[in-house]
Chain A
């Protein structure tokens, strides 16, 4: 947190006097898509110089509201008041003109350009021929007024995630935007980086430099860094107020309403023998760089080993290697002491199953029907296949009907292409396929990304039940809370290597966070990105 003690901003020169933090009010915002009311008469007020959190499940209308404010959508009813004056924002360009800027969940920087170049090209009025000497002088002067610094002369690709996030914020400030909308700003940061960035933003807001509206689903961040909170549920304002007056329980009740969350099963004791062993695994990226190295782990039956780490530290490459999507450069996988190759025969023989991240991309064929997608594991075995090659659609549909009912997949029919289903229902269909049989080894990657509360709870219960039935589970997740909740042991991946392993009972969030950040604290740009 050294940056916090940086000198207070100098008095700005008169001609570039920055705008002050504005207040923003949205009144009676309503937006209808086709037959779906995405936003129903939602109002919120963000006083100048405060941090306001917008809380809600996926699909609650948070992004719709923000996109209306940013001018990506036109609301059907409702007004946006900036400093008390109704302001018509018809396009993102209008929003920029009005001083409203947004930091998106995923970086919008150009990786091959330096920070300085990114800041200059972001300007709407960037000239065709850029006088770099003059621009750099201006930028240096601008940076001197900022409480946090980012190295300006190295390509953005070499910055750490925290530095990129800071640069995104600096970009908005350089454009003199004083109402900042942040969409899940900490999803790509380590806990320490998140604390640092949010702490700085809070301090700057309180000094009246800007006003912040922050979309999030992390209660911890809301309680620690936001002044006020608005909770949305199914397109409506469910409640809100000063965060000081709301407990986490209050907020969570507002957020999920009366939905009953499935009770988590009790934990059975961890089994004795090692089921899955990764012995010195190495793999490369397509460009030849190393994706991960020296990965050695043992997972017992009835045990969940969670692999934590900031996105892009080799975890997704590891999952690909275990799923047969990426060849190993070296090392061996053993299941019950026998060497394992990722072939269809072996998946069946050793009962290896997987729930990869982004199921539509990794585990499903979007254009094939739900029934066909559910049959991926069983299409070449009786009763669906006879004689080893003849396919009978009847038994396939029958099995799908059964699993659709048991796993409560909402689909018009088993013959609907799976791409027409919502994310939670796709994930449930894949879950039905992978978990309905006898599971010995389960590899799970970010299983709950982007899903609503009820689905998340359902999926976590299913994983835990598979563990209790004796499966060895390897859970790769970017959500530390998920790992702390589910795992028996936690391993941290940083820069393609396992940096730390400990039983969950003997470690804590801070220790894990430090190892996630790596020894160099930053520059976590090793392989794994595609």
Chain B
């Protein structure tokens, strides 16, 4: 079509002379940064209304999240499960699923690992073997749990957002049913729990820190899943399916298998987070597993734009917010839920910022004509 292009009269230039153009990655960074700044401004207004100083607040968040070695380790400690639950939202999102059931997969995974540990611990199995079996049980349980939502989606057309959310409540109920019943440790008087796996079995901290190994496992898994999604045929097929299911069908791809597999990977990630909560933090399964990590993971994945690598720094940011909650409460006399208000504002502003993509010309390649 060189003839066509050459024949265009000079009075009809096809595109403005190319100015500086930025890529789509820059667009993501700019818009996310803008959303964060807008959220900070809105939250500052909220603080002013209730008579608190925004400046003090953000200073305290810095101090409580990153300010000292102690607070940074606290941040990383909280970031570990968020990385895993963030991945649990990000991976199915790449294939077009909005799965918000990471909380349920975390709970069922954590419970499964604590339950399977009981006979192992009482029979005196070696700790390494016990932990390996616990981790596998957690990933399998979590994976099957969300795979169910994926299968319902594919086979019966059930909305996966609703089903994964409802499965979360079922998962929590199942855990309480056993923890308060058949599997209750008689020693846990006030707080019904499973039998503790014991100090010697629990996963220790990364040497020289007070951060458990879940953080490094989460970072490694984020890297592995990034490779899976961008450098393997599975990831390519999943992205193709997520981008256009009709085109995927026309290419003869096994759409159902891909959907169930992505859902299962998500549940396995969340289940692993549950395993670390049990094996590294609580030592047993109880109500403390239901801490909202699954839901904050949605926010993490959103801010990371579903990119597994970006999930890591974003999870650390949210870990810092959570870590600073206590300090804010003590120093400013604010309820520690005020950090949740900030999280909520960020989420709403982020959703609103979705409409900004593709608007700014500077991020677009030169126009192609019509």
List A residues at the B interface (Cβ < 8 Å). Answer: 34-37, 40, 59, 234-236, 257-260, 323-325, 342-347, 354, 356, 361-368, 372, 375-377, 379-380, 385, 388-391, 393, 408, 410-413, 416-417, 420-422, 425, 454-455
Contact = CB atoms under 8 A, between A and B. Distances in A.
B16 A34 contact: yes
Contact of A325 (B15, B24, B249, B367): B249
B243 A325 contact: no
A348 to B, nearest CB: 8
Categorize the interface residue count of chain B: 35 or more
Nearest to A365: B243
Interface of B: 1-5, 7-9, 11-16, 24, 230-237, 239-240, 243-244, 246-247, 249-254, 364-370
A366 to B, nearest CB: 7
B288 to A, nearest CB: 39
23 contacts: A35-B14, A35-B16, A36-B12, A36-B14, A36-B370, A59-B370, A258-B7, A347-B251, A365-B243, A365-B244, A376-B247, A379-B233, A380-B237, A388-B233, A390-B231, A393-B231, A410-B5, A410-B368, A417-B24, A420-B364, A421-B368, A422-B368, A454-B3
Contacts of A356: 250
Given A259-B3, A365-B247, A342 B252 contact: yes
Nearest to B368: A422
Contacts of A385: 233
A376 B251 contact: yes
Given A259-B3, A345-B252, A376-B240, 20 more contacts: A35-B13, A35-B367, A36-B370, A59-B369, A234-B8, A259-B7, A342-B249, A347-B252, A362-B246, A362-B247, A372-B236, A377-B251, A379-B237, A385-B233, A388-B233, A391-B231, A391-B232, A410-B368, A412-B366, A420-B364
Contacts of B368: 410-412, 420-422, 425
B11 A40 contact: yes
Given A259-B4, A391-B232, A344 B240 contact: no
Contacts of A411: 368
Contacts of B246: 325, 361-362
B234 A234 contact: no
A235 B234 CA distance: 46
Nearest to B251: A376
Contacts of B253: 344
A391 B370 contact: no
B224 to A, nearest CB: 14
A34 B367 contact: yes
Given A347-B252, A376-B251, A389 B367 contact: no
Contacts of B367: 34-36
Nearest to B365: A412
B239 A346 contact: no
A32 to B, nearest CB: 9
A275 to B, nearest CB: 18
Contacts of B9: 234, 236
A368 B12 contact: no
B231 A344 contact: no
